[in-house]
Amino acid sequence: MIIPRSAIADLAAVAEHYDDLDDLYRSIWGANLHHGYWITGKESADEAVANLTHLVARLALIRPGDQVCDIGSGYGAAALILNHAYGATVTGITISPKQFRHAQFAAAGNSGVNFLLCDALQNGLGSSAYDAVVAVESSEHFMDKPNLLREGYRLLRPGGRCVIAAWLTRECPGRWESKHLLEPICAEGRLPSLVSVAEYQTMLETAGFREIKFFDLTQSVKKTWTICALRLIKRVFADSALRRRLRDPSFANRNFAKTVFRIRLAYETGAMRYGLLTAQK
C-alpha cells in the first residue's frame, strides 16, 4: 500500500479538491470524470469514457429494473447511462457539493436516478437493497478501504455484484517509483492511499465476497492522460486567470496540475495499473 508521507487527505480535503477544481476538470475532461477505455483505438475521448461505463454495466450484469448504488457518482454521467441504457434505478453518492448540484440538474425530472450528498460510509441506505454496487475511480479516496468494501457487501442483495474500477500500484513498486511518482500522486490528487490488485483481492475476500476477478485495462486507458496533459497545456496557455491561480500559493489544489503528468509517466513505467475488480455476494 502506498500512503503519502505528507498529510493524508480526509473527506473534507477530497470534497474541497473536487470543488476547487470543478471548472478545470469539466473543461479538460467533461462531465464523466472517468478514464477513457479505447477498444478500437479510434474512439473519441467521450466515446471511450462511455465505453468504460458500459463495461462496468456488463460486468455488474445490470438489467432493467435493477437497483444500483454508484459510490462516488461525481457529476452523475455514469449513473444516467446506467439508467438510460440499462433501465436501472440508480442511487449515486458524492461528497462534493458542486458535483452534487450538477448531478441533480442533469437528472432533473428523472425519478430513476437519485443523488445523495454524504459520506459513502454513513449513507443511511438499507441493507441488502441493491442488485449492484459500483465504485468507479472513487475507492482511491478512502483510507479505510476494507470498511468501504464491507459497506458495499452490506448494501448488496445475496447474489448481487460489486464492480470496482480502480487506480492501482504495481505489486512491488520500487523506491524511486514510490517517492517520485506514487506518493506525490496520492498527495496531489487527495488519495489517502493506493493499493495493488492483490491487496484489493484480499480485502474483498475478507469482506465476504466470492468469485473475485480482475481485468487489467492499463494499456487501453492510459491514453486518457496524454489527452488530459495536452488539453491542460492548451488551457494554461490560453487562460491567464488559470495561470495566476496555479501560481497562487494560497490555492491548496494548485499542485494537481503536476499530477496529470506524473500519472501519465506512472502508467508508462508500470508503476501504476488500472483495472476492474468484480465480485459477488
Q: d(Cα 205, Cα 208) in Å, to the nearest integer?
A: 5
In whole numbers, what is the pLDDT of the chain averaged over residues? 92
Nearest C-alpha neighbor of 2 from the set 209, 220, 170, 132: 170
Residue 252 domain-assigned (yes or no): yes
Q: Does position 11 have pLDDT exceeding 90, yes or no?
A: no
Residue 39 domain-assigned (yes or no): yes
* Grid cell digits, residue 142: 478512502
Q: How many other C-beta atoms are found inside a 10 Å radius of the C-beta of residue 265?
A: 16
Residue 6 domain-assigned (yes or no): no
pTM of the predicted protein model: 0.92
What percentage of the chain has pLDDT greater than the value 90?
A: 73
> What secondary structure does DSSP assign to 44-64, as a single string?
-HHHHHHHHHHHHHHHTT--T
- Per-residue buried b or exposed e for 146-178, using 16+ beta carbons within 10 Å of the residue's own CB: eebbbbbbbbbeeebbbbbbbbbbbeebeeebb
Cβ atoms 157, 277 nearer than 8 A: no
* Containing structural domain, residue 257: 11-280
Kindly state the average pLDDT of the residues 198-217: 97
Q: Count of domains in the chain?
A: 1
Kindly state the average pLDDT of the residues 226-230: 90
pLDDT at 4: 80
Kindly state the average pLDDT of the residues 138-151: 94
pLDDT at 214: 97
Cβ atoms 182, 2 nearer than 8 A: yes
Q: What is the CATH number of the domain that holds 99?
A: 3.40.50.150
Q: What Cα–Cα distance (Å) separates residue 53 from each residue in 91, 122, 140, 253?
A: 15, 25, 18, 27
Q: Where residue 7 falls among pLDDT bands split at 50, 70, 90? A: low
Q: What is the pLDDT of residues 35-85, one digit of tens each?
A: 999 999 999 999 999 999 999 999 999 999 999 999 999 999 999 999 999
> What burial class does residue 95 get, using C-beta atoms within 10 Å of its C-beta: 0-12 exposed, 13-18 middle, 19+ buried?
buried
* Grid cell digits, residue 195: 493499493
Residue 15 domain-assigned (yes or no): yes
Kindly state the average pLDDT of the residues 149-165: 97
Task: Please report where in the chains the cell 496524454 appears, as a residue.
Answer: 226
Residue 254 domain-assigned (yes or no): yes
Q: Does position 221 have pLDDT exceeding 80, yes or no?
A: yes
Q: What is the pLDDT of residues 99-130, one digit of tens each?
A: 999 999 999 999 999 999 999 999 999 999 99
- Helix, coil or strand: residue 133: strand
Q: d(Cα 23, Cα 225) in Å, to the nearest integer?
A: 18
Q: Does position 278 have pLDDT exceeding 80, yes or no?
A: yes
CA 69 vs. chain centroid, Å, equals 14
Residue 253 domain-assigned (yes or no): yes
Kindly state the average pLDDT of the residues 240-259: 79
* Grid cell digits, residue 41: 483505438
Task: Outline where 89-239 has alpha helix (H).
Answer: 97-106, 145-155, 175-177, 183-188, 197-207, 218-221, 223-238
Kindly state the average pLDDT of the residues 9-23: 81
Q: d(Cα 152, Cα 149) in Å, to the nearest integer?
A: 5
Kindly state the average pLDDT of the residues 142-168: 96
Residue 81 domain-assigned (yes or no): yes
